[in-house]
Amino acid sequence: MIPAGFEYHRPTDTASAISILQEHGDEARVIAGGHSLIPMMKLRMADLAHVIDLQDIQEMKGIEIGADSVTLGAMVTQHELITHDGLAAAVPIIREAALQIADPQVRYMGTVGGNVANGDPGNDMPGLMQCLDASFELVGPDGTRTVAARDFYEAAYFTAREDEEIMTRIMIPVPAAGVGQAYEKQKRKIGDYATAAAAVMVGKGSASVAMTNLADTPIWSEAASAALAARDVEGCVAAMLDAIDPVEDNRGPVEFKKHVAAIMLRRAIARAISRAG
Amino acid sequence: MSKMHVKLNVNGREVEGLAEPRTLLIHFLRENLRITGPHIGCETSHCGACTVDLNGKSVKSCTVFVAQANGAEVTTVEGLVNDDGSLGVIQEMFREHHGLQCGFCTPGMITRAHRLLQENPTPTEEEVRFGMAGNLCRCTGYQNIVKAIMASADMLNAQKEAAE
């Protein structure tokens, strides 16, 4: 319950936040909504000398809806994702998934950037962003670079982000009109990470399929996506079952997770197809 | 670690204090300010007994450092009484519909219900259950909490209509 002491910083622009990160190296970490980091600090699984609060950095906020692309500031909260009607019209799967994350209080604080940058395979947004073929803007001492969501995750809590970089924005291509979307999640109760969850987009001769918490990273499968694009549902499920690598934990043994994964995927496919134009 | 000067508006009053940045908002409220309605029921951010309203959002105050809340407006269950000290509508409805037993989750429940009804003044039962899903209760089985919140919505809407 009681975190270790730290020095607190609240910069008002990204450059200042990065210079504090550079000054303190491993000893410093940024805090966004704080709803993964603070629980870890309370259990003393994270012990930091410097905490850099991003809440006053305006350039990391806001949702921009363009004709071809949606841009989310990394500090946009789950609550803001859910209540933004323009976003729900452009990319409805985001609201559908965000409503399956955590609970109301956590969604007021937890941010989309924190969710995708955290690196916990339990988080829902990483798989969703891979399904959507989103890309992440990272700003560091040497400037700005962009990494595809599909290239970002290396292992549990290991991502392509360097220690001195901050994720500032998420860019999402707007799916074509008539592309059906669905996020289907099996969990033990409200607020639980998924036993298995599937993000599916299908329609207009294309498809994209990703799954959550069935390996030490989210899993986007090119083979499963190609099969679904050809409307080969069983081929899609078989390819995805081949791509995942779940481990036994208190959500169940490996065989059960594979069973649930197939069910979630089939349900998400059915719902996405029913929504496709 | 050095202490920082913290300034908050709590239940409409400006308050200040010195605290280490690592101090959780729930501890600052309870121990520094002696506002002991919000409770601590877990250390994993699940139970919601510590829920307060922070700048118009329902927040679990066990998962906010006081440093992050510096400058914020906070409402706790103590701030939801009427100006004359009588029970607010949601509080009265929890009493009338037996929406509490031990009372430990109640301050968080009522503070969360307050924000839920601001955002959705006419919720369905399903919306109430989903909207309260960040608050655990060990006593009631939730049924009467739902009734209390549905009744609160009706009463608040009737009051609003009467005022117009």
Q: Pick B43's closest partner by Cβ from A7, A42, A108.
A: A42
Is A105 in contact with B60 (Cβ distance < 8 A)?
Answer: yes
Which of B1, B42, B46, B120 has the most A C-beta neighbours within 10 Å, making it the best mutation to test the interface with A? B46
Residues of A in contact with B2 (CB under 8 A): 7
Residue type, A227: A
Residues of B in contact with A35 (CB under 8 A): 45, 63
CB B112 within 8 A of CB B52: no
CB A97 within 8 A of CB A124: yes
Is B68 in contact with A39 (Cβ distance < 8 A)?
Answer: no
Query: Per-residue confidence of chain B (164 residues) as pLDDT tens digits?
Result: 689 999 999 999 999 999 999 999 999 999 999 999 999 999 999 999 999 999 999 999 999 999 999 999 999 999 999 999 999 999 999 999 999 999 999 999 999 999 999 999 999 999 999 999 999 999 999 999 999 999 999 999 999 999 98
Its sign, for the CA torsion A181, A187, A191, A193, is negative
Radius of gyration of chain A (CA): 18
- For residue A240, the distance in angstroms to the closest alpha carbon of chain B comes to 31
Q: Mind listing the pLDDT tens digit for each residue in A202-261? A: 999 999 999 999 999 999 999 999 999 999 999 999 999 999 999 999 999 999 999 999
CB B14 within 8 A of CB B74: no
- Secondary structure (3-state) at A65: strand
Residue type, A196: A
B97 touches chain A (CB under 8 A): no
- Secondary structure (3-state) at B131: helix
Rounded Cα distance, A45 and A39, in Å: 9
Q: Mind listing the pLDDT tens digit for each residue in A66-109? A: 999 999 999 999 999 999 999 999 999 999 999 999 999 999 99
Q: Pick A5's closest partner by Cβ from B1, B112, B131.
A: B1
Residues of A in contact with B60 (CB under 8 A): 105-106, 109
Residue with tokens 């309870």: B30
Nearest residue on chain A to B70, alpha-carbon basis: A10
- Cα→Cα distances B128→A39, B113, B155, B156, Å: 27, 8, 15, 15
Q: Mind listing the pLDDT tens digit for each residue in A10-39? A: 999 999 999 999 999 999 999 999 999 999
Cβ-Cβ pairs closer than 8 A, A with B, add up to 85
Short-list A87, A165, A178, CA closest to A128: A87
Which of B5, B40, B42, B60 has the most A C-beta neighbours within 10 Å, making it the best mutation to test the interface with A? B60
Residue with tokens 């994270």: A46
Short-list A102, A116, A223, CA closest to A168: A116
CB B62 within 8 A of CB B120: no
- Any idea how long chain B is? 164
Rounded Cα distance, A210 and A264, in Å: 11
Residues of B in contact with A38 (CB under 8 A): 24, 45, 63-65
Residue with tokens 């409770």: B39
Rounded Cα distance, A9 and A20, in Å: 8
- Cα→Cα distances A5→B21, B30, B67, Å: 7, 19, 12
Residue type, B26: I
Nearest residue on chain A to B49, alpha-carbon basis: A105
